[in-house]
Amino acid sequence: MSEQKPNNNKKKLHKDLDWEHPLSSEEKFYLRGPARLPKELLRAFKVFLESARGFIKFRRVSNCITVFGSARFHEEHKYYKLARRMGQILAENNFSVMTGGGPGIMEAANRGAKDKGGQTIGCNIRIPQEQYPNRYLDKWITFDYFFVRKVMLTKHSRGFIVMPGGFGTLDELFEMATLIQTEKINNFPVVLMGTEYWQPLFNFMINTMAREGTIDINDATKIKITDSPEEAIDFIRDYQ
C-alpha cells in the first residue's frame, strides 16, 4: 500500500490568510446556551459597552456608504480592483467609505477612497481566520459581537454596495434586504457589484422566491446589479 501524502491545502490556506488569529474563550462560548445569571448580565454589559463605544467613535461620521465583500480576494483579483475603483468613485462624490475593516474587498474599497483623499471607516471583527484592520482606515473599532458590528455598519450608512463575498456577505446583504422590506430603514439603495457573480442569486429571488410568494417582486427589483462603479453611484444619487 502506498503511503498517503499529507494534505497541505489547509496549511496553504492558513499561509494565504496571514491575518488569522485564534478566538478567545468568551467568543467561543457566549452563544452556547444559558449560563449563570451573573455571567449573562456581564455579557449584556459587554454588549452595551461595545455598542456605546461604536456610537461615540462614529458619532461624526456622515454621508457614508457601506461596502460589503469577501476578505479573501488579493490585490490582483478582478473584484479587488473593482472594489478599489468603487472606493475611488465614492470619494470623488464626497462619500465616506465604511467597510468591515479587514483585508480583501474591504481593504480595496478603503484603499480606493484613500487614493482620492476620502474618509475611511472600519468595523473590524474578531474571528478565527479573518481579520486584522487594514492599513487604509482613518478610524475603526474591532468588535467581538457580529450583531453590534452590523448595527454600526447600518446606522451610519446612506446606502450599501455589496461586492462578491461568502456567507458573511450574504448575511449582510439579506440583513439589509430584510430591514428595507420591513421598513426599519427607508430609501436605502442596495447595489450588487459583479453581474456574473450575483445574477444567479438574483434570478433565484425573482424566479423562485417571488414566484412562490415568499417575497414581493418589488423586494428584489429594488436592488441594482451592475459592473460599473459609475452606474452604482448614479443609482445611489437618484435613489436618494
Q: In the beta sheet, which residues pair with residue 225? A: 192
Which one, of 150, 166, 160, lies nearest residue 51 by Cα? 150
Mean pLDDT, all residues of the chain: 87
Q: What does the pLDDT look like over 67-83, one tens digit per residue? A: 999 999 999 999 999 99
Has residue 145 been placed in a domain?
yes
Tell me the mean pLDDT in the region 31-40. 82
What CATH code is carried by the domain that includes residue 234? 3.40.50.450
Q: Find all residues with CB under 8 Å of 118, minimum gap 6, and list them.
A: 87, 90, 91, 92, 94, 95, 96, 97
- Give residue 213's domain range: 60-239
- The total domain count for the chain is 1
Tell me the mean pLDDT in the region 125-138. 82
Tell me the mean pLDDT in the region 96-123. 97
Has residue 27 been placed in a domain?
no
Has residue 153 been placed in a domain?
yes
Q: What is the pLDDT of residue 17?
A: 41
Separation CA 207–CA 145 (nearest Å): 35
Has residue 195 been placed in a domain?
yes
Record the pTM.
Answer: 0.84
Other CB atoms within a 10 A radius of the CB of residue 73 amount to 23
pLDDT at 1 over 50: no
Separation CA 110–CA 105 (nearest Å): 9
